[in-house]
Amino acid sequence: MRALALALAMLVAIPAVAGAETWRGKTGQGRAVAVRTGDNDRVERVRVSWKAKCRKGSYMSRTVFRRPFDVGRAAEFEDGGTYRVDVPGGYRARHRVFVRGTLADGEWTGTFRVRTRVTRDGRFVDNCRLRRVRWSAERV
């Protein structure tokens, strides 16, 4: 009996190992956001769905940010960069994106922004922009 009590006391004394978790939420536009943390409680991936206004309409997409981030601390991250995508109809879009997030009171909150330049056959078609939009995500 004494050995069992000692074994249980040892288990309680060992710190709990954090596990990977997913956080889901919405942007100020009502679009989906997902944050995934790894075993070390640091953010591994962030996915933001967005809609930017253009001169001639709008552009809808989603951006996935992956480690390593420009800033990647236990309770905060930020990342930015440029990427290009082919769009149906022979168009090409170049997105300049930035995301920032902070964990406080059990919730990730942050901001996202994007500027997009659309071309076709190398010629300018349109510029699109989503100024800073706020987002939040809770653990699921």
Average pLDDT of 4-11?
A: 38
Indicate if the pLDDT at residue 17 is higher than 70. Answer: no
pLDDT value for 36: 98
3-state secondary structure of 45: strand
Write out the E strands in 57-122. 57-66, 71-73, 76-87, 91-104, 107-120
Amino acid at site 73: R
pLDDT digits (tens, 9 = 90+) for 73-126: 989 999 999 999 999 999 999 999 999 999 999 999 999 999 999 999 999 999
Q: Quote helix, strand, coil % in the chain, to nearest 5.
A: 10, 70, 25
Average pLDDT of 4-32?
A: 66
Amino acid at site 83: Y
Distance CA 110, CA 59 (A): 22
Share of the chain above pLDDT 70, in %: 86
pLDDT value for 18: 52
pLDDT value for 56: 94
- β-partners of residue 69 are none
Report the helix count and the strand count for the chain, using DSSP H and E. Answer: 1, 9
**What are the CB-based long-range contacts (under 8 Å, 24+) for 71-76?**
72/42, 72/43, 73/42, 74/41, 74/42, 74/103, 75/102, 75/103, 75/104, 76/100, 76/101, 76/102, 76/103
Its pTM stands at 0.85
Domain boundaries, the chain: 17-139
pLDDT digits (tens, 9 = 90+) for 26-52: 999 999 999 999 999 899 999 999 999
pLDDT value for 3: 42
- The token pair that represents 20 in the structure block: 């990977």
